[in-house]
A and B are shown apart, each in its own frame.
Chain A
Amino acid sequence: MIDLEVPKKLQPLLAQARGMAEEVFRPISRKYDRAEHSYPIELDLVSAVIDGLSESGTGQGAGARTGTKVEGEVAAVGSGRSAKDKAGKAGDAKATRNGTNLASVLSILETSRGDVGLTLSIPRQGLGNAAIAAVATEEQKARYGNRWAAMAITEPEVGSDSGAIRTTAVKDGDEYVLNGEKIFVTAGERAELVVVWATLDRSLGKQAIKSFVVERSNPGLKLVRLEHKLGIRASDTAAFVLDNCRVPAEDLLGDPEIRTSAGFGGAMQTFDNTRPLVAAMALGLTRACLDTTRELLAAEGVEIDWDAPAHTQPYAAARLIAMEAEYEAAYLLTLRAAWMADNGQPNSMQASMAKAKAGRTCVNVALECVELCGATGYGESELLEKWARDSKILDIFEGTQQIQLLVVARRLLGLSSRELR
């Protein structure tokens, strides 16, 4: 039965996440925007709350995390595993499932309404955990279970074209030796593990790319610097050099064989899971902008009338209606992508649609809210200017706007990456 409301059973969880956003994240948001690179100690407290939620089995993804007791598998920012085995056959209404993916998307939306940078800094909720959830074997999942994992894909010369990475992995006995350079590693300094993408054989292209779990304490993994950024300053962004970094062979995630027929599969599947989550971050930020702007404008006597035609309302009210509409569009695309994953439906295109729409919407809305609020929007007394700075990354990481459109267009048109470049 068609219904696009937030499921009732998730309400308690979301109320918790909202509480965290309002009581913890929002009050310290500006503090860690200014104190870039200092660790938000308040988050240790928060992660205890999240862990507690998971243990109690009530949560399906507080802040982002899925209760391991409930699903029996690790699930963090990228908790989304397709639930083919759990859901019934597609189209069977009775089997419709609202699971981990939907819970994660909605709870990340709430925490990101508090602060995106802090959401990215919640211990043990890293994007690396998403990679582990997506491609690790059961044994590996159990082994890395409760540890915080960052994700290292990008290199100085390789951004969106992640099939062209240059970091190499060479088998040496029962170890792999990794060499290369990784940048833009979110939570790279703070995490306990770093999931590193490296190629077993550059001549074999994408199929030879594997992900390796590297202990942060590994002496071959050297932190070079932390970036100074436009926004999300509460989140550390690290650069590493891998210098003859030796990793036990069992820390190669998933299948160690190079399967030329299997496509980019493994590693890239991570994105089907993480893109809706980044879209959810963008939604949370957009929501924050709209809520604050509507409050500020209401004090000036401008409020939305949902029934009156927009052209009979003040310009600012008409703009708010338009922005709320774009938010709704992005929100529903994101929920759809998560719902499909929960119900075992392939969602690669829909995940990219969500990310594309949410990414551009959050930037457009954040910038326009600054415009509508004028000096109050642009100044530091409110958080609108910060959100505008934060927003830009959400249309970039986990695949830029343009990469999402490529994914969508290739799927729609049935074109290969060689045909549509």
Chain B
Amino acid sequence: MTLADMSHHRPSLYTQDARTKARNAAEKRFRIYGITAVTLGVLALIVLLTSVLGSGLGSFRQTMMTLPVTLDAAVLDKKGNRNPDEMAKATTITYGKVLAQALEAVVAEKGLAPEGMKAKEIGSLISKEAPAALRDMVLANPDLIGTTIEFNVLANGRIDGFFKGRVTMESAALDSNVSPAQLELAQALRDAGMLRLAFNWAFITNPDASELRPESAGLGVAILGSAYMMLIVLALALPIGVAASIYLEEFAPQNRFTDLIEVNIANLAAVPSIVFGILGLAVFINYAGLPQSSPLVGGLVLTLMTLPTIIIATRAALKAVPPSIKDAALGVGASKMQTIFHHLLPLALPGILTGTIIGLAQALGETAPLLLIGMVAFVKEYPAAPPEGFLDPAAALPVQVYNFTQRSDPAFIERASGAIIVLLVFLLAMNILAVLLRRRFERRW
């Protein structure tokens, strides 16, 4: 082949021939696929988080009204001796009327009511939960009777929805639960400064509320239930997990039996979570007779699920301690147990704790197994203080999200997203703690 022939194929180094062009184009395309994939993944994360945050932030602000409420003794305490047992005869219906009258009085005084609006319609601006709150307050402090107090009442869920854009004049016209006139009145009340959107502490502290009262539904019971379960998981999974890891890492001989344990742990990490729920239902509830929807059963199930995570993390942490430390301890006459408990374990502790926190974070977000052990039940009472409280019915944060999604009122979707924000905040805090622990205590040998 002569030089001239070659120049026929490739006229110059500066101009690419067709094949090089194609290869370079393929290279460029491949790179673009890669960038697109990474972008899509990150984009999915962003869309996911913004969608949930966007629809959930509203639940942290709630429409409230401050009303001057006259607690008339003739209505609320007919016998007049301020005995809470007798006053308890006045039901929430009576208190509801008191509140409705208070609102009507304010509306009439300021002349805010639109033409032709009935008194009943004005009263139903108030949440159905408010009378019970007022009643509890009065029964707890009977001296309030006969005075006029400034009482903060929740507005009805639809009114709340109006100020958050969920309910419009058009949708209200079709809705049997709210009328456009009520919305106009609510707007007038807001303009008059009687009605405002305030930070909603009740969302964090209140128990769940029934289908008709989305405005007062909160996460108190669920947060408490989740906290109880995390306590149980921590108290059981950490010692068992660490003990198992010490045995497997430091003592176990290389034989079939050890292999069996190792395979088991690897498999448990990959068993679908719902299968653990079936185990909990069959063994802890049906066989052992532990109460349904109790944090104890939930905690036990989550313990079994968290164990593999903790064992894997602990073994890695134990492995990372340099053998020289072990040799030195053994060399100065420590027994194997002393070497492990006095030297290896303290040095591996940061890694173990990090793994434990991550395991707990996983357990905190787990939903499916808890559905099967009865955590879906509607629970309005706070569980008692531990240890009795471990057997009381309770909810759990992720299951509460699921419960909210199963209700028809769209206001509960906002609550569900809000609950997820609370859940994510807890998870974020735990993960940051894990990262900080690792940063602060991790040692490079």
Please determine whether chains A and B interact with each other in the same assembly. no
Chain B residues close to A by CB (< 8 Å):
none
Chain A residues close to B by CB (< 8 Å):
none
